[in-house]
Chain A
Amino acid sequence: MALFNIFIFPGILFLVVAGLWFEFVDRRMYARMQHRQGPPWFQPLADFIKLIAKETIIPENANRRLFVSMPVVALTATISAFFYIPLWSTHALYSFQGDSIVVMYLLTLPTLTFFLAGWYSTSLYSTIGAVRSLTQFFAYEIPLFMAVLAPAMLANDWSLAGIATYFTAHPLLALLNVPALGVALVTLLGKLERVPFDIPEAETEVVAGAFTEYTGRHLALFRLAIDIEVIVAGSLLVAMFLPFGLALPAWLGFLVYLLKITFVVAVIAILRSIMARLRIEQMVNFCWKILAPVALAQLLLNLVVKGFLHS
């Protein structure tokens, strides 16, 4: 049963299917908002298969082992994070005190792999993209951490399953975290490198940033990892901030879960369709001057409320 859970449902296979499906949802919505037709539903899968079948080229000067292993590391990290997140019930596949921190760290791994992949590709565009990835990482990671930890603080529990249980018991308290949800959604754009924070892979400046030298199946794995990251990060936000409907029967809960993920994907698609890409220094300023104070205020608020509740 454990093996079934890990490999099939709600494990790897489910993640891959969901990742590709929500890439389609994102692309289709983005296209429709731009008044275009958009791709058919199988396009992400077709792209994936096409990339796998393509020739892979590894730059001569690149560190071969690192270059090849980075996509796998990114993929593994995102998938492992998934097992600790409660999806449509208050239980996660695996759970322990402090797993919320572990999940956050597992989710920072892909960004690090982007950096290493870019850096060890040794091409100019990749290097610049890699450095930008890292700069951006330092800007959004703090607000993201603070935002995600706010509910944990309120629930006084460091396991995701525990937090979900707490908020299912006190659903109204979840509404308190709305500013943190906003911050988390915006920083998520940075993590996923979407407009307006797609600075590290800005096509018109640095071609494809860290991925410039990636081809064939390595690129396919990277893209799959990013697709899955969307689902995993979305699930994390949903579990933390929208813990509604977790007590429902499994099938209904599953539908609600899908709806919630669709909501996150839709917000990302809308945000990226109404904004221009920022410059890196504008992005850093924005994160430190606006997002970080908001997240901080949320933490303080939650501390105060928690003091009230427990007194």
Chain B
Amino acid sequence: MLGEVLAHLCAKPNTIKYPFEPAVVEAGLRGKIKFVAEKCIGCKICVKDCPADAITITKIGDKRFECVFDLDKCIYCAQCVDSCPKKALSVTNEFELAQLDKHKLRFVFHAPDAPPTPPAPAAQPEPPVAKTA
């Protein structure tokens, strides 16, 4: 044991200085889910299969569907990706999703020809106070 610890004393540490150095994640990691509105047909199989009720698909016009992800509910299992018959959903390996403001955890993918608003914080009505207590 002594030799081992002395050898490590001079070696480069095995840990990294996250968050000052970027963490390398595996290519196969299941992170945030991506939605391509053009491909969606609104069958809602993903909604039915999602174990966490994290995904909502709303019809906002003729063949136009909007998708809302609750990043705080999602368990990143990617079952929705497997279930989607049209491959409208896909996994990315984006994993740094923590937010101070919980409203930012509602992530909206807008339908194609909706006004080009930035995808990030969607204006959401204040949730009722009792719900957050």
Chain A residues near B (Cβ < 8 Å): 29, 31-38, 270, 273-274
Contact = CB atoms under 8 A, between A and B. Distances in A.
B5 A270 contact: yes
CB-based closest 8 A-B pairs: A33-B5, A274-B1, A35-B14, A37-B13, A35-B8, A37-B15, A273-B5, A32-B9
Contacts of B24: none
B74 to A, nearest CB: 32
A195 to B, nearest CB: 13
Contacts of A31: 13
Nearest to A30: B5
A270 B8 contact: no
Contacts of A29: 9
A186 B28 CA distance: 50
A258 to B, nearest CB: 19
Contacts of B1: 274
A34 B2 contact: no
Contacts of B6: 33, 270
A213 to B, nearest CB: 32
B17 interface: yes
Interface residues on B, range: 10 to 19
A278 B8 CA distance: 24
A31 B15 CA distance: 10
Nearest to B1: A274
Given A270-B2, A274-B1, A274-B2, A36 B14 contact: yes
Interface in B1-30: 1-2, 5-6, 8-9, 11, 13-17
B8 A33 contact: yes
Contacts of A34: 5, 8
A262 to B, nearest CB: 13
B4 to A, nearest CB: 8
Contacts of B11: 32, 35
B13 A35 contact: yes
Given A270-B2, A274-B1, A274-B2, A37 B8 contact: no
Nearest to B10: A32
A153 to B, nearest CB: 32
Contacts of A273: 5
Contacts of B16: 37
A29 B1 CA distance: 15
A36 B9 contact: no
Contacts of A270: 2, 5-6
14 contacts: A32-B8, A33-B5, A33-B8, A33-B9, A35-B8, A35-B14, A35-B15, A37-B15, A37-B16, A37-B17, A273-B5, A274-B1, A274-B2, A274-B5
A38 B9 CA distance: 11
B34 to A, nearest CB: 34
A35 B14 CA distance: 6
B22 to A, nearest CB: 15
Given A37-B17, A38-B13, 12 more contacts: A29-B9, A32-B8, A32-B11, A32-B13, A33-B5, A33-B6, A35-B8, A35-B14, A36-B14, A37-B13, A270-B2, A274-B1
A37 B6 CA distance: 15
Contacts of B17: 37
Contacts of A36: 13-15
A101 to B, nearest CB: 35
A270 B14 CA distance: 19
Nearest to B13: A37
Q: Which of B1, B9, B15 has the most CB of A within 10 A?
A: B9
A26 to B, nearest CB: 13
A31 B6 CA distance: 12
B7 to A, nearest CB: 9
A29 B9 CA distance: 7
A31 B11 CA distance: 12
Nearest to A34: B8
